[in-house]
Amino acid sequence: MSEEISSKLGPGAEFDSIRKVVKRLGQNAQGIGDDAAVISSLGEQKLIVSTDTSVENVHFKREWLTSEEIGYRAAAAALSDVAAMGAKPLGMLVAMAIPETWHAQIDAISDGIGEAARVAGAPVIGGDMSRSSELALTITVLGTARHVLLRTGARPGDHVYVTGRLGGPGAALRYFEENREPPTMLRERFARPIPRIHEAMWLAESGAMSAIDISDGLSSDLGHIAAASGVALNIDLSSIPVIDGVSAIEGARSGEEYEIVVSSPVEIDATVFKRHFNLDLTRIGSVDTGEPGVRFFLDGSQVAVPGGYLHFA
Amino acid sequence: MSEEISSKLGPGAEFDSIRKVVKRLGQNAQGIGDDAAVISSLGEQKLIVSTDTSVENVHFKREWLTSEEIGYRAAAAALSDVAAMGAKPLGMLVAMAIPETWHAQIDAISDGIGEAARVAGAPVIGGDMSRSSELALTITVLGTARHVLLRTGARPGDHVYVTGRLGGPGAALRYFEENREPPTMLRERFARPIPRIHEAMWLAESGAMSAIDISDGLSSDLGHIAAASGVALNIDLSSIPVIDGVSAIEGARSGEEYEIVVSSPVEIDATVFKRHFNLDLTRIGSVDTGEPGVRFFLDGSQVAVPGGYLHFA
């Protein structure tokens, strides 16, 4: 498959780089080699499409991650946006803006992207290769959904749930910023986030009506649901699920988690969810009327959670 | 519309930038504000999707173009890839990686993108905003087509046609590189390329079976059709349509033209094409059997056309 694609690309240095990527992607690349990718049928489904850029020294530093992890992480972050819509990823387009000093890493970056494509069942169906002075990977993900989870879908009375346990990427970042190697478990949470694709689809089928993935931090991302839905979100700080050694406030501010927050008018059974996905699902609050925004409570008193996570640079 | 979108975005500096873009796009932005865009129906059509990156100092220099032109040109280049498939653009996603020093230009860049969106009938339906140390605009275009023009569609015996007159962007580039302002007509061809959307759709309906847009230069881009289709392309150098003052070889090497080359098993009436689009359509050669590649002829003798255009940097 990939050899067939490669032989169909014309000559030139840019295309040699593309050939490298395609060869490396193997079965994780499909139908590349035209000006654009073609998708034949959506059936009854809606098409979901999202684009996400990972920039060196903004989203990661070269010394923190392997090149394979940089590729994987960029793809996982992009896949997470489509997962947050309750959609099944269909394929992705990879635009690499790559400096000369990164050229030797094209294979390893492609391996990482290919790994994310394989795990998500979303082959690379197109892309672009440019020179640049810093590495930037812009990954566009296409997916399909029958029931779309929008940020506008939260209503007063809904329950608010979050998947997984928060705080790992934020804790890893603190180690990195102090030039220390984080413990393996924290490092993995930062370097190899898992887009919650099947989890979000299951939540959509179980009654969830709005969702967002945690990229900027729980407190910031809930703010987007509150703003889009025009509702107040009351969050019980003590119920926020965190990993060992991380406070609830740190968990609420930790970004690039790629866990999913949903609102649902019906109760969702966390035990069934855990049995399916071996992952926690935790009710952390509820949707209320009033001034749109996010309010955190501890023992019944409102507490301030300092604003959203900002990328480190 | 755009105010409604803006109010649904949460707080934060990144979202202030997004709000700026959305406000500026006005009616040229639709349905923004979720993790991903939703497209409800394709009917009987195929979905076409392509992504293209424009990087400062690779695809343009800041001193050559206005910010509005930089935005327009990035979008036009991306739209051209979808046009080359014979597709009608449906919408686009704009990923801006933007340095602090460019922030004051966000409005003007958005204006340019909005102008391309308006002309193409393809509103901005999503995007991403990142910090970076150089400006990079990655634009993903979605479109629909009934009859898709692939690079693999050329067959021995086909006629080869090109739209427009070549050489303008290449000639403009020579002025820019000598720090001289190009004459208006050349400058416009470089700064405001026109994606040949309706022209390519008409050519597909008129019998064309393969197509590519001229981004790397006619000689290079024909090489992609030859490689993908496994055919030889015989091109009559003297028939290549060029603008005044440009040689045929310069025309064949000029990149970023965004004109369309097609192969067609049936003859296409250039007079009817010209009446429709007020644009030249010129037969420049034919498809043959033999070693896949592009052969240029002048007065019956084969001549060498030095290899493809490379971006200037």
Phi, psi for residue A101 in degrees, rounded to 5: -70, -10
User: For the residues B278-295, what does the mean pLDDT come to?
Assistant: 96
Burial pattern B126-145, b for ≥16 Cβ within 10 A else e, equals bbbbbbbbbbbbbbbbbbbb
Q: Which position has the higher pLDDT, A94 or B310? A: A94
Query: What's the pLDDT score for residue B43?
Result: 72
Scan residues 116-145 of B and list those with Cβ closer than 8 Å to A: 125-128, 130-134, 136, 138, 140-143, 145
Instruction: Please tell me the predicted confidence (pLDDT) of residue B312.
Output: 43
- Rounded to two decimals, the pTM is 0.90
Query: How far is B294 from chain A, CA to nearest CA, in Å?
Result: 11
Please give the pLDDT value at position A313.
37
Query: Which of left, alpha, beta for A308 (phi over 0: left; psi -120 to 50: alpha)?
Result: beta
- Chain B residues whose beta carbon lies within 8 Å of the beta carbon of residue A11: 220, 223, 227, 307-308
- Tell me the nearest-neighbour CA distance from B61 into chain A, angstroms: 13
Averaged pLDDT, groups of 10, chain A, 313 residues long: 56 73 81 70 81 92 95 97 94 93 93 95 90 95 90 96 97 94 96 97 96 94 92 96 95 95 98 98 97 92 71 41
Q: Do the Cβ atoms of B51 and A140 come within 8 Å?
A: yes
State yes or no: pLDDT of B11 exceeds 70: no
Q: For residues A84 and B32, what is the distance between their CA atoms, to the nearest angstrom?
A: 15
Residue A45 confidence (pLDDT): 83
Predicted ipTM of the assembly: 0.88
Q: Taking residues B274-295, what's their average pLDDT?
A: 96
Whether A48 has its CB under 8 Å from any CB of chain B: the answer is yes
B81: which chain A residues are within 8 Å (Cβ-Cβ)? 35-36
Q: What is the pLDDT of residue B313?
A: 37
pLDDT on residue B311: 42
Does the beta-carbon distance from B130 to A55 stay under 8 Å?
yes
DSSP B280: -
Tally Cβ neighbours within 10 Å of residue B19: 17
Yes or no: say if B221 and B261 are a contact pair by the CB < 8 Å rule. Answer: yes
User: Per residue in B66-105, pLDDT tens?
Assistant: 999 999 999 999 999 999 999 999 999 999 999 999 999 9
Tokens of B62: 């800041």
Q: What is the pLDDT of residue B6?
A: 59
Range with the lowest mean pLDDT among A139-153, B20-34, B217-231?
A: B20-34
Q: With CA atoms as reference, report the closest residue to A147 among A205, A222, A202, A229.
A: A205
Per-residue pLDDT, B1 = 40
A87, A145 contact by CB (below 8 A):
yes
Check whether B111 has a pLDDT greater than 70. Answer: yes
pLDDT for residue A311: 42
Mean pLDDT, to the nearest integer, of B122-129?
A: 90
Residue B309 in this model has a pLDDT that exceeds 50? no
pLDDT at B307: 61
For an interface test with A, the pick among B5, B6, B49, B62 (most A C-beta atoms closer than 10 Å) comes out as B49
Question: Residue A289's closest CA among A231, A249, A236, A239?
Answer: A231
Closest Cα of chain B to A231: distance in Å? 11
> CA of B161: how far to CAs of A202, A265, B196, B218, B292, in Å?
52, 59, 14, 11, 18
Size of interface A-B (CB pairs under 8 A): 242
The predicted model gives B213-232 an average pLDDT of: 93
Average pLDDT across chain B, whole number: 90
Handedness of CA A310, B3, B4, B7 (dihedral sign): positive
For residue A94, list chain B residues with Cβ-Cβ distance below 8 A.
51
